[in-house]
Structure 1
Amino acid sequence: MAGPLTGIRVLDLSRILAGPWSTQCLADLGAEVIKIERPNEGDDTRTWGPPFFGEGDEALAAYYMSANRGKQSVAVDMASPEGQSIIKKLAAKSDIVVENFKVGGLKKYGLDYESLKALNVGLIYCSITGFGQTGPYKDRPGYDLMIQGLGGLMSVTGEADDKPGGGPQRAGVAVVDLFTGLYSTIGILGALHHREKTGEGQHIDMALLDTQVAVLANQSLSYLVSGTAPKRQGNSHPAIVPYQSFETKDGHMILAVGNDGQFKRFCDAAGLPGIAADARFSTNPGRVANRGDLVPVLAGVIAGRTTDEWVTMLEKVNVPCGPINTLDRVFDNEQVKARGIQLAHKDSLGRTLPGVANPIRYSATPIEYKKAPPMLGEDTDAVLSALLAE
């Protein structure tokens, strides 16, 4: 069954994570993705390890594998006139170009949007940078960690400053890169729809900082509405109580009470009916205002049972909760297994590579994983002989 983007060709000039994450998503949806890589070097993330799958010349970094399935790797020297000519010819036959060079970095090669638009008026060209194509920071390099700090995420992530271990903390994965990659995909799909109506392509200007500020969501609006900057408060929630981690008899668990009914059911199950009836705690605004009195009481009770005992008890009364799993337990989870989230696919060397599925579930055009992350340049001859001969 053909994917929804079957027939769409993507020329991927990006590397590291934000761009490759976007183009991998497009590949998952059925697009043909041609990844241009530097001969003998390739995408920087090919060396970002350990861990590596395989050894020696056949090794693939796990980091690279996470963002490059479904693509064809073509090794071309962009700095050479011959390489520039090849990329221009490929762009003329592509629907989408994705790049994450510094602002103006591709102009000297004749591979900027205006140059390629002259060859292909319908081309959709997505540029991903740290700070965008305009503004006083446009020429600065931008990396996920520094944007997490500059863009405010680290001001609301981590334990409170007055607690043990307090201070700024980055997210455990490169969320700015990943969100920017997803927003880039959304922007590209919108541009494809626009082109379908008008025949015209366009330039998409994506910035890590823009994305970071946008995805602060309720935290951004809390500041804009109140005028008070939110602070780090560990695993607790600024506007919902109890919605945090608690220590149990054998570890930790998450209790995520989202409404007053759930709170009452939790209290009844935990043997605390008087707490739910207390006017200070019967409503969420009251619990937020009085969290200092409530949370220690709950913590004392929760510490008396194991995580599994709490999860079993609270699931029966429909109170959201769960363990804090390590990744071995995540991939061994029955729900994760039932949804087929772990992949296994063959690469060009006949090896079975692991992967993680795209979470999009179509009813009419289910995603198929037809190609494992490629070795450097493995598709160069096949792609160039097929496309440049046309």
Structure 2
Amino acid sequence: MTDRRRLILICLCFIAFISLGLPDGLLGVAWPGIRADFEQPLDALGWLLVATTAGYMISSFFSGAVSRFFGIGRLLAISCTLTGAALLAFTLVPFWAAFVILGTLVGVGAGAIDAGLNTYVAEHYSERLMQWLHASFGVGITLGPLIMTAMLNLTGQWSPGYWLVGSAQIFLGICFFVSARLWETPASIKAEPSLTEDAGKVALTHPATDAKPQPAIASANFTASLATPAVWLSMGLFFAYTGLELTLGLWGYSLLTESRGVEAAAAGLWIAIYWGMFTLGRMVAGVFANHLGNHRLVTYSLILALAGAVLLAWNPVAWVGLMAIGVVGFAFAPVFPGLVSGTRLRVGEAHLANTMGMQIAAAGIGAACLPALAGVMADRLSLEIVPAFLMVFIVVLSLLYGASRRLGRHQIGIDPIDH
């Protein structure tokens, strides 16, 4: 019975990650219609992203305390319900200011889900399962543009896409309320059989016989973590990466339709392909994560992402630029879960719990700031600035990653080279 409960928990984790990705996938395709209805300029998206990030930061920063109070199951239930209600309300408000305020509520729900689940999975499951769980986020964010494109083709309006996804979020919230007790076993999750993956299958092992007991390490307090340079570098990684991922996801549709003359339906399909390749990349990474290790996986991904961004900027013929979108999506895929799994090696065990929430909050800031900055630059210059923007910040991310690895090795006294 215990093993069955744990398998159910993993399935619920997959569902939660899918629900987390759905709203993000809608916005890029819906934005031209939204800004037309509210008579907003191209870069007004930045205000919505800032509002969403504010909610995301608050909830993710304090997710540890909130999940301890409510329990992870109830936290997921409340967050999904709140997100769904806000998405439905998007279609009802008459003013842009109200739309932006609702974005804050969407951010609150997303931040709580993201930080809570990432902490839970990093503590209890393997790097391979982390990649597969984040692949389910890719499933959600891939379905988002497909849903919105289909609704635009059928109705000519963006609202039905939000009706559909908002209703699905509320339904998921109800499911999490019903199953909340499954998460409430007395922290005994570590004493029960643990799940590892072998050849793509979930198998059962027993920590009591398969692993040596590890001495407990006291957690650092919040102030000590904030005073640790390695923690700030780790936050910088998440700021840069998440901003890059969403920059192409949010502005790719506008780049294709408004700058490169691609038809709306085809552009929506290519943004879905971007997220679809993103999902495929995480599935592939799940197979090779334990073999390659986080360091090689992240390094190879950054190199491929830079190559894809160069092709997107070059765009010698239309099909090369379109294919480059898929390449970048595939390359970005393993980076976030790889960075999450490598947190302990960058900051040390004592700072792990504090850093996890901090870097998820930093990811939210990056998700608002970098796409917003790209939008401002596109409005002032041209949408063709987006590929060059990606190239520059992929290089910045690579430099931050190298610095974080070196600081973790020298300051914390660990040698993560082969991990």
TM-score with structure 1 setting the length: 0.30
Larger relative CO (CA 8 A, sep 6+): 1 or 2? Answer: 2
Which structure: greater strand fraction? 1
TM-score with structure 2 setting the length: 0.28
Who wins on radius of gyration, i.e. which is larger?
A: 1
Which structure: greater helix fraction? 2
